[in-house]
Structure formats: C-alpha cells, structure tokens
Structure 1
C-alpha cells in the first residue's frame, strides 16, 4: 500500500437503478434495498442516475422520496438530472418536497445541454417551444434562484375564505440551494460552477479540453473549480469494482464487463472529444494503489463510486460491502455508525 495522503472524508455510491421493462417494480425495489444497505454499511451518500426513455430510473426524485421513508441518515442525491427535460419551477417544488421529507438530506445534481436524441424526442418533449427553449447555464441559475426562495409569482396573499398563496416555491427548504451540485465534463463547466458558488460533480466522462490523459484532465478541471470556489465541495465519480469477497463467477463476469468497456478509454471519442475513465477492478488494496496514483483522485476528499450498469442485486451487495469494509478504510475513510 502507498502512504495515504489526506484521508478520504466522504464515500458515496451511484446507481442507475436498472429494471426489467416487463417487471419494473422489482428493479425499483432493488434500488431502494441497495440504498438501505448503503446506510447500514455507513456510506455517507447514495446517488441515482437519471435515465429518460431507458430501462433505468426516469424519476429519481420519486424514488428518493420513497428512500427518505426507508432511511434516516444517509444523504440522497441525483447525479445528474438533465435540466433540458425539466421545468425549473416544477422541479424546484419536487426537490424541496423531497428535502423536507428527508430532513434536509437531499443533494440535487443537475446539468444542462440539449437532450440526447433531440431530434427524436423534441416533438414529444416540447411540441410548441422546441426552437426557443433555453438549455444554457441560465436554466440552472433559474432553478437555484427558485429553490433559494426568490419570487416565482407576482401574487401573494389570501384569496377567498381559505386559500393562501405564496409568491415563492413551497415548501421552502432552507439550505437546499447550498446543496445543489453541477455535473460538468468540461473546463468551462468546472469554472462556471465554481463562479456560481455551487458544488461540483466530476465523473468518469470528460471532454479533452487541454489534455488527452483522463486523470490529468480531471485534475485540471477540479483545480479550476477550486480556484473559483475554494469553499465549494467537489466529488469524483469513477466505476470501481472491488473483488475481495467476489466469487470466481462474479470475478469473471466483472472482468468481462471491464474488458468490453476498456477500448473506448484509449483516446477521445467523437466530435466532442469525450474521454472515458478506465474502470477500476481488483482487490481493495490494488484499487487503492491505483487511486492514489490518479491525479484526479488526489484533488478530492469526496468520492461517489459508480456501480456498473448491468449487474445483479447480489453483485451490488458484494461490491458495496467490499467498498465499505475494505476499500474505504484503505483510503483512510471511516464508516458512519
């Protein structure tokens, strides 16, 4: 083991919430059980990916509302909600409601940009306004202002006998605006998030802005965020698969998964020059050594390790258990009782 640097302060995990289209209830129940397990194992946070028109969770806010009633301590987040699919005012109401239900544990992560497969979905998503929708950073700023309590209406007061109207989003969730994260893949996004006083999520997908080495590029983006917002929180998300207690069959399946995804990591992909991180697989000792050598990891004190997309429930149990009991401590992290 290399000598550790600053001990890892917060350890979380991220799941897509995969389900069978013919039996979606079972997959959603599995996701809730995984979040409950994460709390028992002492993880600091559990995050849900957002997947529209796929067989992954399309409404993390609804699933997290259920999770608030089955957990009491663990922070709950979205990584990330693409705001191009959302009305910021309505989303602000939903997020505030879940935050109140959780007792102030919600950490919404958001991003902007045109929806994926835009030409295929725009007629259903914005049949009348597709050509004028604003998918810029302003959509995030508007959501944040509404969550913070800035006016959403020019009217407030009583109407009739019993109806009382507010001019701001209700319920109001104090502190939620400070727990808003921006999920960015570019140097520009990292700088913008910092300038806005937001927190920053950096994942296993980045743009090759200034470097074609993933770890170096990630470190550069995190440094830019910190320069703009020294007090802001930043979290790194990589796919990490510890195999300490895995069966031979699980190890074989996990390695095949990693091998199939590795070719895309060798160089920037497509016109946007997107880079993908190599999935980390091995014993916790081996993974810790690779993380300590990772320039991006050395810039953070929080991580949200991503669970692989297509594994079974028992695989997630094994991976989370090994992460909490072996990998986390190898990184200097201690589980919360």
Structure 2
C-alpha cells in the first residue's frame, strides 16, 4: 500500500449533529438544531449536516428540518448524513430533496446509504406491510433515486389530461442536485460502488474491519478504493467525519464531562465489534492544538481536504455552542482552514 500523503490545508469545514430531543418537549430539541445551524453559518462553517434517526428521540425527518433551515440561513450548505434508503420511497424522496434544494438556492447536500433497516423483522409490518419480503435494500434502490434526480423518466406517461398537466420526470427539477449527492460508505465494496457512480464519499467514525484492525488505515483504504473507481480520481470529493471535542473555551465542569464521555466510549475502539467486525474511531478530546496534532498523523485525515466533524451525543445546547466556536476559531484554523468572506 502506498504511503499516506502529507496533510493538506483543510478547505471545507462542516459539522454534524444528531439533533436529540426530550420526548416531552420535541420542539425545543428541533429548535436547538436550527439554532446550531444558524450559529454554524455565523462562524463561517461551510456545511451543516443532520443525522437521521427512526423510532428514536432524534431527527426522523432531516429533509423537513433542513427545509426550515433554508429559511434561516443564506450561505451554509445543508446536508443529510445519512438518509437510509431502506426507509424511503426513492421517487417521493427525490421530490422532497429537489423541493428543499430549490428553497435553499442550490445548497442541499443529500447524503444517502443503503442496506436492510435495523431491526427490520420488527418494523417491517409497519414499514412495508404488504411487500416486506420483496423489498430490495441494495444499491439498486440508490440507483433509482439517482436516476430521478438526474431527470431520467419515471413513467411513460406525460401530457395533458383534462385540465391537468403531467410530467414523465420528477418535479420540480433541481439543476445540479444529482452531482451533490454523497454516499455513506463503511466497507471497501460500498466505497468502490460510490466511486463508480461518480458520487461524493462521506466517511464517518464507523467502518468495517476487512483488511486491518487499525481504524485510520481501514478508512484510508476505503478512500483510495473510492478514488480508484471515480471518474475524477484523486480529485474526487471525500469528507471525513470524526468526533472532535476541543476544550479551549470549555469550563472546568465541561472539560471533566467531555473527558468522562470519551472514556466511556473508548473501549469499543480497541477491536472489531460483533459478527460484522465493526470498528469505531476514537473520539478526540483536548485543546485545538492537541487535536490538530493527532489529526496530522491520522492516515485517513491526511487524504482529505474537507470534514464534517461530529458533535457528541447527549450534550447540552451550550456545550455544542462552545464546541462549534472552538472548532471554528481554534481547531480549523490550526488545520489550515479559513472562512469564506
């Protein structure tokens, strides 16, 4: 395997939030997410991403949340990381994505993935009650969505019927949206598929251990496999998503909480987990200078020029404000990033 490249200056800075909420007051949690996206724009972040959670106390409809965000921001790009297509009808999703992209002025960055929904046997009666055994959860589902976003025909019928006018393609049309689709890959096979499709690649803090048990090397292998298949080769876009928690502006109580949070999650990073051999990245906590130094030696980070740093689960709104502020004013500049404008 070739040696990792030297770290390049960070060109695009993003953040990712899961958008948790109190089930007794879900509106407040969604408002917090929107306020964080607004703050991200004020701090100069290039993108804000929301995670997708079904039958949990997190954002179940990221496209709807981002529709609201389009009306409260003007510059920051808005992404989903990621929409699991096993829960979706690709044609309907294409309509929603195109609508929100137009509302945003072309700022939407849809992230998608495929695969059998988690706990499918238990949710299938509600999700696909009549077709549970016939549903296809592989790449063909993503290919259908991409075809609709690219403006390929969805039906052989179009024209006028009475006073109604019908199109054979998904409406509205959102120019360029298909080129802004990202794929969340966790294995070499899915990374190669995404590259062959000409998509952008989202990496995260979760990968499948196939050739190594070193997280950074696994992630780097997936990036190289993706670019080897992509029409743009080494120029193909890859965004890395690790959990980073800078402490420069944190209070003593916050620092103690952050360190304890990371300590409680570290054991899962030492070896592959379960029959799927899933590996998790170690969360990075410390000063901006300390985190920047650790990233500079991270084999996968050395291959990218953009990130979507993930906010930790279950922290408070003010914690997230501090973390985002420290990322934008301390960590990202230490990595070579400069805000636009």
Taking structure 2 as the reference length, what is the TM-score of the superposition? 0.97
Partner of 2:3: none
Question: Contact conserved, 2:8 with 2:304, CA < 8 A, in 1?
Answer: no
Partner SS for 1:203: coil
Q: How many residues are matched? A: 333
Partner of 1:252: 256
Report the alpha carbon displacement of residue 155 of structure 1 after superposing the two structures with TM.
1.1
Matches of 1:58 and 1:214 in 2, distance apart?
A: 29
Match of 1:87 among 86, 89, 94: 89
Partner of 1:141: 143
Partner of 1:113: 115
Partner SS for 1:190: helix
Matches of 2:260 and 2:172 in 1, distance apart?
A: 47
Matches of 2:155 and 2:221 in 1, distance apart?
A: 41
Q: Deviations over 1:250-291 (max 9, x none)?
A: 001111110110000000000000000000000000000000
Q: Deviations over 1:275-320 (max 9, x none)?
A: 0000000000000000000001001111100000100000000000
Q: Deviations over 1:135-187 (max 9, x none)?
A: 001111110000110011111111213x2111100001010000001101001
Partner SS for 2:110: strand
Matches of 2:294 and 2:7 in 1, distance apart?
A: 13
Structure 1 residue ranges (4+ consecutive) displaced by more than 4 angstroms after TM superposition? none
Q: Does 2:12 match 1:10?
A: yes
5 Å-filtered alignment, 1:149-298, equals 149-161=151-163, 163-229=164-230, 230=233, 231-298=235-302
Q: Give the CA RMSD over aligned residues.
A: 0.8
Q: Deviations over 1:2-22 (max 9, x none)?
A: xx8321110100000010001
Matches of 1:5 and 1:279 in 2, distance apart?
A: 20
Report the alpha carbon displacement of residue 232 of structure 1 after superposing the two structures with TM.
2.2
Report the alpha carbon displacement of residue 74 of structure 1 after superposing the two structures with TM.
0.4
Matches of 2:285 and 2:198 in 1, distance apart?
A: 35
Matches of 1:77 and 1:309 in 2, distance apart?
A: 18
Unmatched tracts of structure 1, length 5 or more = none
5 Å-filtered alignment, 1:21-32, equals 21-32=23-34
Report the alpha carbon displacement of residue 336 of structure 1 after superposing the two structures with TM.
2.2
Report the alpha carbon displacement of residue 228 of structure 1 after superposing the two structures with TM.
1.1
Matches of 1:336 and 1:244 in 2, distance apart?
A: 23
Question: Contact conserved, 2:7 with 2:303, CA < 8 A, in 1?
Answer: no
Partner SS for 2:262: helix
Taking structure 1 as the reference length, what is the TM-score of the superposition? 0.98
Matches of 1:336 and 1:14 in 2, distance apart?
A: 19
Q: Does 2:67 match 1:73?
A: no
Matches of 1:152 and 1:122 in 2, distance apart?
A: 26
Matches of 1:232 and 1:106 in 2, distance apart?
A: 18
